[in-house]
C-alpha cells in the first residue's frame, strides 16, 4: 500500500519537474528569441500555466484525497469558483508581502505580480488541489505534526522549499556583479523554481527514507 | 568568586572594547603630518644657508620648465613601457627612453594600489592613510597641501581631462576640465577618446601652464581581460601615438618659448596577473615613470640602462621644484635628482636644501626624538657643509676645489634625503600586525569565554563561577605570561617599523598580557568543566531533546547569515537590506506563530499523544520517533501560550493577529523614508522630498504630529511631574526646529531670521536632565522604600522617556517618524506579541537587537562614514566643544539600538516574573553583539589587502568598534539595574 503510494507520488513529482523543464525549452520552438532571462515574464506565464495544468490533471486523474460525500454539480462548480478566488487572493497576498519586504510599490508592479503568481502556482495550487478551499485544513497541514498522509507530507515539503527558495533568491540582489539575473524579480523567481523542483525531487526520497518512522493518525 | 551573568557579560564586553581599541590603533596607523596642516599661510621659503657671509638668495628659485604636461595612464605597469610589450607596442616611447632627452624610472606605489589614494600621493607627495579619510569625513575634496593648490596660488593655469576623481579631489583648481567616469568598466575606447578629442585644440593654445591627462582605458582592459590580452597592445599603441602627438606639439612650441617644457608619462598603480589591483604584489606596485624634456641631456646610442627605482611620491617634490613652487608640506618624497643635474651646482644645492628642510620639518612634527634620527643628523651636517661652500663660493668665484667640494655636499644631501624620506614613509604604510594580533586575541578569548559559559549563564540561577584565584597558582598562567613577554621583547627590539603596542608604557602592556593569560586560563578551565559535564551527561541515557521552534531557528540562521554576509563588500555596503530582510522575516514568523496559536490554540496538536505524560517515558518516546517528537518543554510553552491567548478578549485577539502586519507596514514606510547604502542612495526618497524647501509646510505638520504621537505613546506610564516636563520638552523641540529654520513656526509668520537655537535647545536639555534626574531618584528610592516594584518601573520608564526626549531633539525633523514608529512598534510588540505568546528572555533580547539594528539604518545611517549626522553634535552649543559634541553625535547615530535596549530593560523588569531575566538579557545582548565584532575583526585581518579595504571594510570596522562601545555602556546599565533589584529581598 505504502510503497505503491510512494511510487505514485514519485511519478507525479517527476511529471511536475518535467513540466517545469519543458516550459523552458518548448516555447523557444514556437516563439522567436525566447529565453528565460530576457523574456522572463513570458516564461513566468508559461511556466505557471503548465505547472497548474499538470497539477490539475494529475489530481483529477489520481484523486489522492478521499472523494467528498456531496458531489452535486453545483457544489463542484461552487468549489471550483472558490478555488479560483482563493488563488487570486493568494496572488494578491503574496504581492502585498513582497511590497512589504521592499519590492518597489509602483514601478515593476507587473513583474512583482507575476512573481506572486508563480509563487502561488508552486504553493497555493497544490494546496487547493489536495486540500480544497479549507483554511483550517491548510493550517493543520502546516503546523507541526499535523500531516495525515504522504501526500500532505510531500505538499508540506514542496511548499516550504519553494518559500525558502524564493527567500534565498533575494540574497544576490544587492551584490554588485551586475548580472542579468540579479534584476528584481528574476533571482527570486528562479530561486522559487529551484526550491520547488528541489522539493519535488527530495520529498519522495525523504518519505521513502523515513517510511518506517512515519505513522499517520488516519491510516 | 561567583558573579551574576549580567556582571560577567559587562566585564567581558569591557575587555572586548579594550581589545578592539588596540586592534584599531594597530589597523589605522597615525599619519605623517606637519603640525600646521590647517593653516595655509604662505611661509617664506628657507633661505640659503651660509656661514658668516650673508647670501642674498632668499626667494624661491625660478621655475625650470615653462609648460608641463602630465600624461597619467591608469594601471601603467613598468613592463608595459620598459619590457617587451613596450618595445613592441610603444616604439616612440622606447625611442625616447633609449636615446632621447629623457629620464626613466620605475616608480613604486604604496598599497592600497587604488586610483584615488594614488592620485593623492602623486600630488601631495604624502602617503594617504585611512585616518585622512575619517578626518575629512569622507569629503572627497583634498584638503592637504598639494602641488595643484600651490600652482593655483602661484597663478598657474591648470587644465585637466580624464578620470573625474580629479575633479572631485580638486574642485575649482582647473581653469578647464572634462571628467570621464570610470563607472562603466566594459568601455575602454570612449573613455579615452573623450580625453584625446580635446588635445588638438589645447595643444595649439598658449593659455595654460599645466595640462593633466588621465587615461582610464588600460585599467578597464585589465579588469576585463587581464594584462596579457591582445587589447592591451592596441591600447598601448594608441597611447604611444598620443604621447608622440603631445611631444611634437611641445617641441614645436618650445622654439619661441623661454623655458623648456616637460612631459611626464606615469601610471598610478600597476596591474596584477589577473588584471586587478589594490594589493601589494610586485606587478601592482611597480609603475612606469618617464620624464621627457629638451632640457635633459640626450643619451648616447646604445646606453640602455635599467631604469632606477624610485618612490611614486617623489614626483610631487620634483614637479614643485620644476614649476618653481614651494614643496607641499606633507611631502615625504625626494627630488628626482637627474632632473636638475644640468643646472649649476649652486642651484642644485639650493633645490636639495629646500627639499631637505621640508622633510626635516615634517620629521620634527612627527617624531619626538627627531634629533637622534640619523637623517636629521645628516641634514644638519650637510647644511653646515653647504653654508661653508656658499661662503667660499661668494669669496672666490670658481675653481676646481669648489666643484669637488660641491659634489661632496651634493652626495651628503642626497644621503640625508634618502634617510629622511625612508624614516618618514615607514611610519604610514605598514599595518601594525603585532598590535592587531594582541587586540584580536583579546577579543577572541572573550568571545570563547562567553560561548563556553552559555549553559551556566542561561541556567535559572544565572550565576557563574569565575575562578580568579586559581590562575595565580596555575603553571599555565605563568608560562603564558613568560611566553608573551618573551614575544613582546623580541618583537619590540627587532622590528624596524614603529609599533603602537611597543610604544605603550611597560605597565599597560604588561597589564594587557596579564589579561590575555588570565583569560586563557579561564577558557581552559571552562572547557574542562564543559567536557567533564558532557561526559557525565553522556553516561545518562536519553538527554531530553529540546526541539527548536521556527523562531529560534530563524534567529540562529539570521545571525549566522549576517555574519557570513560581512565577508562580501556589497553586503557591507547594503547591510541595511540584510537587516530589513531579517526583520520582515521575523515579523512573518511571528505572524505564523500568532496564527497557529489563534486557530489551533484550543485543539492544537491533536496528533501528539504525549502531552499527558511529560516525564522520562515521554522523553524516551520522543527520541524514538524523531519525526513526531514534541519535547515536553516545547509542548508546555505552546500550551501556556495558547491558554494565555484564550484569556484575551476578542478585540485583543484581533489586535494580536494584526500587530505583526502593522509592524511590517511600519517598517516598509520607514524604508521609503531614507534611502541608504550605495546602490540606492541616489534614489528619490521621502526624506529628501520633505527636506526640500518647497515642502516645508508638510514637514512642519509631520514634525508636529510626530511630536504629539511621541507624547501620547510615552506619557502613559510616567509620573504626572515628568508628564508635564515631557510635554514642555517636546514643545521646546518644535521651537528649536522652528528657530533654526527647519520647520515653520505658527507664531512668527514671515519672519525669516534664523538663529542657532541655543536658548531653545538648552531649554529642552533642562527637561531632559530633569526627567532623567526624577527617574534616577525613583530608582534610588525603590531600594529603600516598601513600594519598590512600582517606583522602580516608573523610574525606569522615566529614564527611557528622558532618552526619547533627547532623541527627539537630536534627530532631524524628517526622522521624527522613525522615532514614533520605534515607540509604536515597541508598544505593539510588547503588548500584543511578546506578552501573550510568552517568548523567552533570549528570544525577546535577540528581537530587540534586530529591531535596534534595523532602526539604525531606518534613520538613514549606513556603513559609510559620510552618513553620520555631525550636526547633532552642535545642538545647543555655541561652538564645537569636543566631549559633548562627540557624545551627542554618538547618541544621535545610535538612537535605534539604545532606545531598543532601554525598552528591553523596561519590558523585562515590568513583565517578567523571573528574577534572573535581566541577567539573562544582559548576557544574551553581550553575546549577540560581540559575535559579529569578533568575526569581523578576523575577516578584516585576512582581507587587509582587498581592493575595497579602505573604502568599504575600514569604515564598517569603525562602526563595529563604536557599536561595541555603545553595547558596553548598555551592558553596564543593565547590570546597574540588576544590582538595584538584587539588594531587594
DSSP letters, A41-106, are: HHHHHHHHHHHHHHHHHHHHHH--SPPPS---HHHHHHHHHHHHHHHHHHHHHHHHHHHHHT--SS
Q: Rounded to an integer, what distance in angstroms lies between the CA atom of residue B725 and that of residue B715?
A: 10
**If you measure CA to CA, which chain B residue comes closest to A212?**
B625
SS3 (DSSP) at A5: helix
What average pLDDT score do residues B763-773 get?
94
- Using CB atoms, pick whichever of B581, B628, B672 lies closest to residue A170: B581
SS3 (DSSP) at B302: coil
Measure A30 CA to nearest chain B CA, in Å. 34
**If you measure CA to CA, which chain A residue comes closest to B581?**
A101
What average pLDDT score do residues B787-806 get?
86
Q: Are residues B353 and B401 in the same domain?
A: yes
Peptide bond into A185 cis (omega under 30): yes
Which one, of B376, B508, B468, B381, lies nearest residue B22 by Cα? B508
Test A144 with B595 for CB contact under 8 angstroms.
Answer: no
Q: Which three cell numbers stand for residue B674?
A: 531614507
Test B584 with A100 for CB contact under 8 angstroms.
Answer: yes
**If you measure CA to CA, which chain B residue comes closest to A136?**
B599
Domain final residue, candidates B323, B341, B359 = B341
Tell whether the model's pLDDT for residue B134 goes beyond 70.
no
Test A102 with B581 for CB contact under 8 angstroms.
Answer: yes
Q: Does A175 touch chain B (CB under 8 A)?
A: yes
Q: Are residues B335 and B347 in the same domain?
A: no
Tell whether the model's pLDDT for residue B932 goes beyond 50.
yes
- Using CB atoms, pick whichever of B581, B599, B628 lies closest to residue A145: B628
Q: How far is CA B814 from the centre of its chain?
A: 26
Please indicate, yes or no, if residue A27 is contained in any of the structural domains: yes
Summarize pLDDT for B594-620 with one digit per residue, the tens: 888 887 654 444 433 333 333 333 333
Cβ atoms of B201 and B177 within 8 Å: the answer is no
Domain final residue, candidates B530, B549, B579 = B530
Q: Rounded to an integer, what distance in angstroms lies between the CA atom of residue A43 and that of residue B350?
A: 76
Please indicate, yes or no, if residue A140 is contained in any of the structural domains: yes
Q: Which of B98-102, B891-895, B971-975 has the lowest mean pLDDT?
A: B98-102
Q: Which residues contact B631 (CB under 8 A, 6 or more apart)?
A: B544, B545, B546, B547, B619, B622
CB atoms within 10 A of CB B49: 20
The Cβ-side half-sphere exposure at B50, using a 13 Å CA radius, reads: 16
Summarize pLDDT for B38-49 with one digit per residue, the tens: 444 455 667 777
Cβ atoms of B119 and B267 within 8 Å: the answer is no
Domain final residue, candidates B889, B913, B937 = B913
Residues of chain A found within 8 Å of residue B585, distances taken between Cβ atoms: 167
Q: Which residue has the higher pLDDT, B789 or B891?
A: B891
- Using CB atoms, pick whichever of A136, A145, A213 lies closest to residue B608: A145
Please indicate, yes or no, if residue B924 is contained in any of the structural domains: no
Test B625 with A215 for CB contact under 8 angstroms.
Answer: yes
Number of H helices, E strands in chain B: 41, 10
Q: Rounded to an integer, what distance in angstroms lies between the CA atom of residue A68 and that of residue B606?
A: 23
Between CA B766 and CA B755, with CA B752 as vertex, the angle to 5 degrees is: 35
Q: Rounded to an integer, what distance in angstroms lies between the CA atom of residue B391 and that of residue B53?
A: 6
Q: Rounded to an integer, what distance in angstroms lies between the CA atom of residue B933 and that of residue B919?
A: 22
Q: How many residues does chain B have?
A: 985
Most distant CA pair in chain A: distance in Å? 58
Peptide bond into B112 cis (omega under 30): yes
* Nearest-10 Cα torsion for A45, A47, A51, A52: 0
Q: Does A82 touch chain B (CB under 8 A)?
A: no
What average pLDDT score do residues B751-769 get?
83
Q: Are residues B374 and B477 in the same domain?
A: no
Test A143 with B607 for CB contact under 8 angstroms.
Answer: no
String of DSSP letters for B81-93: HHSHHHHHH-HHH
Confidence (pLDDT) at B437: 92
Measure A147 CA to nearest chain B CA, in Å. 9
Q: Are residues B95 and B128 in the same domain?
A: yes
Confidence (pLDDT) at B602: 46
Which one, of B797, B752, B753, B805, lies nearest residue B779 by Cα? B797
Q: Which of B8-12, B596-600, B837-841 has the lowest mean pLDDT?
A: B596-600
Confidence (pLDDT) at B606: 40
pLDDT band for position A134 (cuts 50, 70, 90) = confident
SS3 (DSSP) at B625: coil
Please indicate, yes or no, if residue B938 is contained in any of the structural domains: no
What average pLDDT score do residues B811-834 get?
92
Between CA B386 and CA B394, with CA B388 as vertex, the angle to 5 degrees is: 100
Q: Rounded to an integer, what distance in angstroms lies between the CA atom of residue B864 and that of residue B677?
A: 8
Test B600 with A175 for CB contact under 8 angstroms.
Answer: no
Q: Rounded to an integer, what distance in angstroms lies between the CA atom of residue B861 and that of residue B187?
A: 33
- Using CB atoms, pick whichever of A99, A144, A174 lies closest to residue B668: A99
Measure A179 CA to nearest chain B CA, in Å. 13
Q: Are residues B489 and B411 in the same domain?
A: no
**If you measure CA to CA, which chain A residue comes closest to B578?**
A171
Confidence (pLDDT) at B363: 84
**If you measure CA to CA, which chain B residue comes closest to A104?**
B672
Please indicate, yes or no, if residue B560 is contained in any of the structural domains: no
Please indicate, yes or no, if residue B58 is contained in any of the structural domains: no
Q: How many domains is chain A built from?
A: 1
Please indicate, yes or no, if residue A216 is contained in any of the structural domains: no
Please indicate, yes or no, if residue A69 is contained in any of the structural domains: no
Summarize pLDDT for B360-373 with one digit per residue, the tens: 888 887 776 777 77
Please indicate, yes or no, if residue B822 is contained in any of the structural domains: yes
**CATH code of B90's domain:** 3.40.720.10
Confidence (pLDDT) at B630: 38
Q: What is the pTM of this model?
A: 0.78
Please indicate, yes or no, if residue B856 is contained in any of the structural domains: yes
Between CA B530 and CA B538, with CA B535 as vertex, the angle to 5 degrees is: 120
Confidence (pLDDT) at B628: 36
Measure A31 CA to nearest chain B CA, in Å. 31
Q: Are residues B385 and B326 in the same domain?
A: no
Q: Which residues contact B172 (CB under 8 A, 6 or more apart)?
A: none
Test A101 with B604 for CB contact under 8 angstroms.
Answer: no
Parallel, antiparallel, or unpaired: how do β-strands B68-73 and B262-267 relate? Answer: parallel
Query: H-helix or E-strand containing B102?
Result: strand B102-108
Summarize pLDDT for B859-888 with one digit per residue, the tens: 989 887 777 877 888 888 887 777 888 899
**If you measure CA to CA, which chain A residue comes closest to B565?**
A171
Measure B967 CA to nearest chain A CA, in Å. 28
Residue tagged 551627542 (cell numbers): B888
Summarize pLDDT for A136-175 with one digit per residue, the tens: 788 788 876 777 788 888 898 999 999 999 999 998 888 8
Which one, of B729, B703, B704, lies nearest residue B715 by Cα? B729
Q: Which residue has the higher pLDDT, B744 or B732?
A: B732
Q: Rounded to an integer, what distance in angstroms lies between the CA atom of residue B836 and that of residue B570?
A: 39
Measure A27 CA to nearest chain B CA, in Å. 32
- Using CB atoms, pick whichever of A99, A145, A167 lies closest to residue B607: A145
pLDDT band for position B686 (cuts 50, 70, 90) = confident
Q: How far is CA B119 from CA B8, B236, B316, in A?
A: 49, 21, 10
pLDDT band for position B829 (cuts 50, 70, 90) = very high
Structural domain of residue A192, as residue ranges? Answer: 3-62+76-209
Q: How many domains is chain B built from?
A: 4
Q: Rounded to an integer, what distance in angstroms lies between the CA atom of residue A106 and that of residue A104?
A: 6
pLDDT band for position B933 (cuts 50, 70, 90) = very high
Summarize pLDDT for B960-972 with one digit per residue, the tens: 999 999 999 999 9
What average pLDDT score do residues B797-809 get?
94
Measure A104 CA to nearest chain B CA, in Å. 9
Measure A176 CA to nearest chain B CA, in Å. 6
**If you measure CA to CA, which chain A residue comes closest to B184?**
A178
Structural domain of residue B282, as residue ranges? Answer: 67-341
Q: Which three cell numbers stand for residue A68?
A: 467528498
Q: Are residues B698 and B742 in the same domain?
A: yes
Q: Rounded to an integer, what distance in angstroms lies between the CA atom of residue A93 and that of residue A112?
A: 12
Q: What percent of chain B lies above the pLDDT cut of 70?
A: 85
Which one, of B910, B915, B901, lies nearest residue B974 by Cα? B901
- Hey, of B627, B657, B686, which one would you mutate to test binding to chain A, going by the most A CBs within 10 A of its CB? B627
Tell whether the model's pLDDT for residue B394 goes beyond 90.
no
Residue tagged 596660488 (cell numbers): B153
**If you measure CA to CA, which chain B residue comes closest to A93?**
B661
Q: Are residues B74 and B123 in the same domain?
A: yes
- Using CB atoms, pick whichever of B574, B580, B625 lies closest to residue A213: B625
What average pLDDT score do residues A58-80 get?
75
- Using CB atoms, pick whichever of A101, A140, A214 lies closest to residue B581: A101
Confidence (pLDDT) at B53: 57
What is the average pLDDT value for chain A, to the nearest integer? Answer: 86
Phi, psi values for residue B611, rounded to 5°? -75, -15
A-B contacts at Cβ under 8 angstroms: 65
- List beta partners, residue B263: B69, B292
Confidence (pLDDT) at B749: 55
SS3 (DSSP) at B3: strand
Residues of chain B found within 8 Å of residue A175, distances taken between Cβ atoms: 568, 570-571
Please indicate, yes or no, if residue A194 is contained in any of the structural domains: yes
**If you measure CA to CA, which chain A residue comes closest to B675?**
A102
Please indicate, yes or no, if residue B237 is contained in any of the structural domains: yes
Q: Which residues contact B347 (CB under 8 A, 6 or more apart)?
A: B61, B340
What is the average pLDDT value for chain B, to the nearest integer? Answer: 83
Cβ atoms of B509 and B488 within 8 Å: the answer is yes
Which one, of B69, B65, B64, lies nearest residue B205 by Cα? B69
What average pLDDT score do residues B200-212 get?
90
Test A213 with B626 for CB contact under 8 angstroms.
Answer: yes
Q: Does A178 touch chain B (CB under 8 A)?
A: no
Q: Does A217 touch chain B (CB under 8 A)?
A: yes
Q: Which three cell numbers stand for residue B91?
A: 616604439
Please indicate, yes or no, if residue A219 is contained in any of the structural domains: no
Please indicate, yes or no, if residue A14 is contained in any of the structural domains: yes
Q: Are residues B260 and B165 in the same domain?
A: yes
Q: Rounded to an integer, what distance in angstroms lies between the CA atom of residue A43 and that of residue A51?
A: 12
Q: What percent of chain B lies above the pLDDT cut of 90?
A: 32
Query: H-helix or E-strand containing B278?
Result: none
Test A176 with B607 for CB contact under 8 angstroms.
Answer: no
SS3 (DSSP) at B510: helix
What average pLDDT score do residues B294-308 get?
75
Q: Are residues B385 and B472 in the same domain?
A: no
Number of H helices, E strands in chain A: 8, 0
- Using CB atoms, pick whichever of B570, B664, B667 lies closest to residue A176: B570
Which one, of A160, A154, A146, A112, lies nearest residue A129 by Cα? A154
Confidence (pLDDT) at A84: 92
Please indicate, yes or no, if residue B488 is contained in any of the structural domains: yes
Q: Are residues B337 and B351 in the same domain?
A: no
Q: Which residue has the higher pLDDT, B913 or B98?
A: B98
Confidence (pLDDT) at B609: 34
pLDDT band for position B20 (cuts 50, 70, 90) = very high
Residue tagged 512583482 (cell numbers): A112
Confidence (pLDDT) at B872: 84
Q: Does A136 touch chain B (CB under 8 A)?
A: yes
Please indicate, yes or no, if residue A17 is contained in any of the structural domains: yes
Q: Does A172 touch chain B (CB under 8 A)?
A: no
Q: Are residues B351 and B483 in the same domain?
A: no
Summarize pLDDT for B56-90 with one digit per residue, the tens: 677 778 888 989 999 999 999 998 998 888 888 99
- List beta partners, residue B176: B159
Cβ atoms of B293 and B261 within 8 Å: the answer is yes
Confidence (pLDDT) at B33: 62
Residue tagged 578647464 (cell numbers): B176
Test A140 with B679 for CB contact under 8 angstroms.
Answer: no
Amino acid at each position: 500500500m505504502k510503497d505503491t503510494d510512494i511510487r505514485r507520488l514519485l511519478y507525479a513529482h517527476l511529471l511536475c519537474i518535467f513540466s517545469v523543464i519543458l516550459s523552458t525549452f518548448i516555447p523557444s520552438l514556437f516563439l522567436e528569441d525566447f529565453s528565460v532571462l530576457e523574456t522572463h515574464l513570458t516564461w513566468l506565464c508559461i511556466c505557471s500555466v503548465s505547472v497548474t495544468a499538470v497539477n490539475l490533471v494529475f489530481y483529477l486523474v489520481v484523486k489522492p484525497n478521499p472523494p467528498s460525500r456531496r458531489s452535486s454539480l453545483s457544489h463542484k462548480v461552487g468549489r471550483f469558483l472558490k478555488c479560483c478566488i482563493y488563488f487570486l487572493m493568494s496572488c494578491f497576498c503574496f504581492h502585498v508581502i513582497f511590497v512589504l519586504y521592499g519590492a518597489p510599490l509602483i514601478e515593476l508592479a507587473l513583474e512583482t505580480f507575476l512573481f506572486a503568481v508563480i509563487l502561488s502556482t508552486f504553493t497555493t495550487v497544490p494546496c487547493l488541489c489536495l486540500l480544497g478551499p479549507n483554511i483550517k485544513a491548510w493550517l493543520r497541514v502546516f503546523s507541526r505534526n499535523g500531516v495525515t498522509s504522504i501526500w500532505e507530507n510531500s505538499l508540506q515539503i514542496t511548499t516550504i522549499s519553494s518559500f525558502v527558495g524564493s527567500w534565498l533568491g533575494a540574497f544576490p540582489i544587492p551584490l554588485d556583479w551586475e548580472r542579468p539575473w540579479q534584476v528584481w524579480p528574476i533571482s527570486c523567481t528562479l530561486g522559487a523554481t529551484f526550491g520547488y523542483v528541489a522539493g519535488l525531487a527530495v520529498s519522495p526520497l525523504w518519505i521513502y527514507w523515513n517510511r518506517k518512522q512515519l505513522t499517520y493518525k488516519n491510516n | 568568586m561567583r558573579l551574576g551573568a549580567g556582571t560577567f557579560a559587562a566585564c567581558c564586553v569591557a575587555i572586548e572594547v579594550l581589545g578592539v581599541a588596540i586592534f584599531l590603533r594597530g589597523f589605522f596607523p597615525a599619519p605623517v603630518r606637519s603640525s600646521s596642516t590647517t593653516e595655509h599661510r604662505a611661509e617664506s621659503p628657507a633661505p640659503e644657508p651660509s656661514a658668516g657671509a650673508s647670501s642674498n638668495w632668499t626667494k624661491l628659485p625660478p621655475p625650470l620648465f615653462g609648460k608641463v604636461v602630465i600624461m597619467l595612464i591608469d594601471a601603467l605597469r613598468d613592463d608595459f613601457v620598459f619590457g617587451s610589450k613596450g618595445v613592441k607596442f610603444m616604439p616612440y616611447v622606447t625611442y625616447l627612453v633609449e636615446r632621447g632627452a629623457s629620464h626613466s624610472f620605475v616608480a613604486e606605489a604604496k598599497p592600497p594600489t587604488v586610483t584615488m589614494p594614488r592620485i593623492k600621493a602623486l600630488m601631495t607627495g604624502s602617503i594617504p592613510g585611512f585616518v585622512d579619510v575619517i578626518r575629512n569625513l569622507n569629503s572627497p575634496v583634498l584638503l592637504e597641501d598639494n602641488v595643484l593648490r600651490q600652482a593655483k596660488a602661484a597663478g598657474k593655469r591648470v587644465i585637466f581631462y580624464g578620470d573625474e576623481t580629479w575633479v572631485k579631489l580638486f574642485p575649482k583648481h582647473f581653469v578647464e576640465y572634462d571628467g570621464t567616469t570610470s563607472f562603466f568598466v566594459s568601455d575602454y575606447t570612449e573613455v579615452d577618446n573623450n580625453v584625446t578629442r580635446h588635445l588638438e585644440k589645447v595643444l595649439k593654445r598658449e593659455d595654460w601652464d599645466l595640462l593633466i591627462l588621465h587615461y582610464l582605458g588600460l585599467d578597464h582592459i585589465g579588469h576585463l581581460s587581464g594584462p596579457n590580452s591582445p587589447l592591451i597592445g592596441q591600447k598601448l599603441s594608441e597611447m604611444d601615438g598620443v604621447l608622440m602627438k603631445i611631444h611634437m606639439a611641445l617641441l614645436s612650441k618650445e622654439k619661441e618659448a623661454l623655458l623648456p617644457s616637460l612631459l611626464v608619462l606615469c601610471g598610478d598603480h600597476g596591474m596584477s596577473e589577473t588584471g586587478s589591483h589594490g594589493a601589494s604584489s610586485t606587478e601592482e606596485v611597480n609603475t612606469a615613470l618617464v620624464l621627457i624634456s629638451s632640457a635633459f641631456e640626450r643619451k648616447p646610442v646604445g646606453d640602455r640602462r635599467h631604469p632606477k627605482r624610485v618612490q611614486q611620491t617623489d614626483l610631487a617634490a620634483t614637479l614643485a621644484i620644476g614649476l618653481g613652487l614651494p614643496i607641499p608640506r606633507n611631502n615625504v618624497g625626494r627630488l628626482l635628482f637627474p632632473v636638475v643635474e644640468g643646472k649649476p651646482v649652486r642651484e642644485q644645492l639650493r633645490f636639495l636644501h629646500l627639499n631637505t628642510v621640508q622633510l626635516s620639518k615634517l620629521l620634527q612634527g612627527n617624531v619626538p626624538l627627531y634629533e637622534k634620527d640619523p637623517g636629521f643628523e645628516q641634514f644638519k651636517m650637510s647644511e653646515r657643509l653647504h653654508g661653508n661652500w656658499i661662503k667660499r663660493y661668494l669669496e672666490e668665484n670658481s675653481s676646481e676645489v669648489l666643484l669637488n667640494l660641491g659634489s661632496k655636499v651634493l652626495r651628503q644631501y642626497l644621503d640625508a634625503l634618502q634617510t629622511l624620506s625612508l624614516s618618514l614613509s615607514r611610519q604610514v604604510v605598514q599595518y601594525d600586525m603585532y598590535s592587531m594580533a594582541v587586540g584580536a586575541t583579546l577579543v577572541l578569548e572573550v568571545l570563547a569565554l562567553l560561548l563556553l559559559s552559555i549553559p551556566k549563564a542561561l541556567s535559572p540561577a544565572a550565576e557563574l563561577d569565575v575562578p580568579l584565584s586559581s590562575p595565580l597558582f596555575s603553571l599555565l598562567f605563568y608560562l603564558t605570561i613568560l611566553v608573551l613577554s618573551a614575544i613582546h621583547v623580541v618583537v619590540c627590539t627587532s622590528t624596524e617599523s614603529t609599533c603602537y603596542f611597543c610604544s605603550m608604557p611597560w605597565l599597560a602592556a604588561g597589564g594587557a598580557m596579564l589579561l590575555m593569560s588570565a583569560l586563557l586560563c579561564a577558557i581552559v578551565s571552562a572547557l574542562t568543566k564543559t567536557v567533564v559535564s558532557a561526559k557525565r551527561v553522556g553516561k545518562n541515557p536519553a538527554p531530553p531533546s529540546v526541539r527548536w521552534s521556527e523562531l529560534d531557528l530563524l534567529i540562529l540562521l539570521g545571525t549566522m547569515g549576517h555574519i557570513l554576509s560581512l565577508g562580501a563588500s556589497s553586503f557591507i555596503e547594503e547591510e541595511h537590506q540584510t537587516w530589513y530582510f531579517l526583520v520582515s522575516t521575523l515579523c512573518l514568523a511571528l505572524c505564523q506563530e500568532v496564527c497557529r496559536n489563534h486557530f489551533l490554540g484550543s485543539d492544537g496538536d491533536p496528533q501528539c499523544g504525549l502531552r499527558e505524560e511529560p516525564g522520562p517515558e515521554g522523553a524516551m518516546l520522543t527520541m524514538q520517533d524523531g519525526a513526531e517528537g514534541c519535547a515536553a518543554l516545547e509542548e508546555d510553552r505552546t500550551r501556556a501560550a495558547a491558554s494565555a491567548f484564550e484569556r484575551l478578549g476578542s478585540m485583543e485577539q484581533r489586535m494580536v493577529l494584526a500587530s505583526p502586519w502593522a509592524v511590517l507596514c511600519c517598517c516598509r514606510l520607514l524604508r521609503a523614508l531614507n534611502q541608504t547604502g550605495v546602490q540606492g542612495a541616489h534614489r528619490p526618497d521621502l526624506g529628501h522630498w520633505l527636506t526640500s524647501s518647497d515642502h516645508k509646510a508638510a514637514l512642519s505638520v509631520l514634525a508636529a504630529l510626530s511630536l504629539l504621537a511621541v507624547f501620547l505613546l510615552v506619557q502613559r506610564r510616567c509620573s504626572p511631574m515628568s508628564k508635564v516636563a515631557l510635554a514642555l520638552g517636546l514643545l521646546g523641540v518644535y521651537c528649536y526646529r522652528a528657530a533654526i529654520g527647519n520647520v515653520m513656526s505658527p507664531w512668527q509668520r514671515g519672519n525669516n531670521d534664523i538663529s542657532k537655537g541655543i536658548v531653545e535647545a538648552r531649554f529642552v536639555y533642562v527637561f531632559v536632565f530633569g526627567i532623567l534626574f526624577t527617574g534616577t531618584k525613583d530608582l534610588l528610592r525603590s531600594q529603600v522604600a516598601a513600594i519598590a516594584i512600582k517606583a522602580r518601573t516608573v523610574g525606569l520608564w522615566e529614564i527611557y522617556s528622558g532618552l526619547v526626549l533627547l532623541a527627539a531633539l537630536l534627530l532631524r525633523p524628517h526622522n521624527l517618524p522613525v522615532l514614533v514608529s520605534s515607540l509604536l512598534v515597541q508598544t505593539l510588540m510588547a503588548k500584543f506579541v511578546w506578552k501573550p505568546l510568552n517568548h523567552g528572555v533570549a528570544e525577546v533580547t535577540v528581537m530587540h537587537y534586530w529591531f535596534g539594528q534595523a532602526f539604525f539604518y531606518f534613520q538613514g545611517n549606513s556603513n559609510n562614514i559620510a552618513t553620520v549626522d555631525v550636526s547633532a553634535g552642535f545642538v545647543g552649543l555655541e561652538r564645537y566643544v569636543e566631549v559633548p559634541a562627540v557624545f551627542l553625535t554618538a547618541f544621535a547615530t545610535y538612537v535605534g539600538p539604545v532606545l531598543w535596549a532601554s525598552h528591553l530593560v523596561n519590558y523585562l523588569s515590568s513583565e517578567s516574573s523571573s528574577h534572573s531575566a535581566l541577567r539573562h538579557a544582559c548576557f544574551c545582548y553581550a553575546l549577540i553583539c560581540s559575535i559579529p565584532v569578533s568575526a569581523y575583526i578576523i575577516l578584516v585581518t585576512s582581507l587587509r589587502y582587498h581592493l575595497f579595504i579602505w573604502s568599504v571594510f575600514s569604515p564598517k570596522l569603525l562602526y563595529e568598534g563604536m557599536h561595541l562601545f555603545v553595547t558596553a555602556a548598555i551592558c553596564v546599565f543593565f547590570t546597574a539595574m540588576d544590582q538595584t533589584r538584587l539588594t531587594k529581598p
